[in-house]
């Protein structure tokens, strides 16, 4: 074989590896992280407000609870699934936020999956943020976003961030926003 043919075959094999091997998944996650930008903060005059906190959810032990417990608090909500690569891409940043603000911000990392695959994923990846399970058919005070959609709510229930795509949550813009919301 000619040298050029060998190089061409190597390039084709390399490109195919992104589609048929775990290397492809890791690469796609990494690419999503690199391309993620800081979430867009909604201007004060354009912020919508939730008025009804009556939302039933399940915690990591599968016990039902009400979103009502977060009334008057800063809230971070993110919808995700363990098999969705864009969701996986931002979980590292969400873990950073959780580690930095746990106890001061209420975190709802919401999935509609069953417990078993989520628990395996969390253990494998080493994430410690609390997983919240959506109850299918239960009404919500916010629109249920497709993964990896996210919201940040202020203490008065105003939607400060409404993000429909992968976001970079580990940056100074988000830190300044959360600090200012906590100080209000």
| Per-residue pLDDT tens digits for 111-156 | 999 999 999 999 999 999 999 999 988 888 888 888 899 999 999 9
**Location of each CATH 3.40.30.10 domain in the chain:** 39-183
Residue 134's SS3 state is strand
CATH class of the 39-183 domain in this structure: alpha beta
> Cβ atoms within 10 A of the Cβ of 140, count?
17
Q: Is the pLDDT of residue 73 over 90?
A: yes
What is the pTM (predicted TM-score) of this model? 0.85
**In which band, very low, low, confident or very high, does the pLDDT at 181 lie, cut at 50, 70 and 90?**
very high
Cα–Cα dist 74/153, whole Å: 6
Q: Cis peptide before 148, with omega less than 30 degrees from 0? A: yes
Residue 105: per-residue pLDDT: 98
Cα–Cα dist 25/176, whole Å: 32
């Amino acid at each position: 074989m000619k040298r050029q043919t060998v190089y061409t075959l190597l390039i084709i094999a390399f490109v195919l590896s992104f589609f048929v091997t775990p290397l492809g998944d890791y690469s796609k996650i990494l690419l999503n992280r690199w391309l993620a930008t800081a979430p867009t903060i909604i201007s004060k005059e354009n912020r919508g407000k939730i008025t009804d906190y009556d939302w039933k959810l399940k915690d990591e032990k599968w016990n039902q609870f009400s979103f009502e417990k977060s009334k008057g608090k800063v809230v971070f909500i993110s919808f995700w699934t363990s098999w969705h690569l864009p969701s996986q891409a931002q979980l590292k940043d969400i873990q950073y936020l959780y580690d930095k603000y746990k106890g001061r911000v209420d975190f709802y990392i919401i999935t509609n999956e069953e417990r078993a695959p989520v628990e395996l994923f969390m253990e494998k990846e080493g994430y410690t943020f609390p997983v919240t399970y959506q109850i299918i058919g239960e009404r919500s005070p916010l629109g249920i976003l497709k993964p990896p959609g996210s919201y940040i709510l202020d203490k008065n229930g105003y939607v400060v961030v409404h993000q429909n795509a992968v976001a970079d949550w580990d940056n100074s813009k988000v830190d300044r926003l959360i600090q200012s919301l906590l100080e209000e």
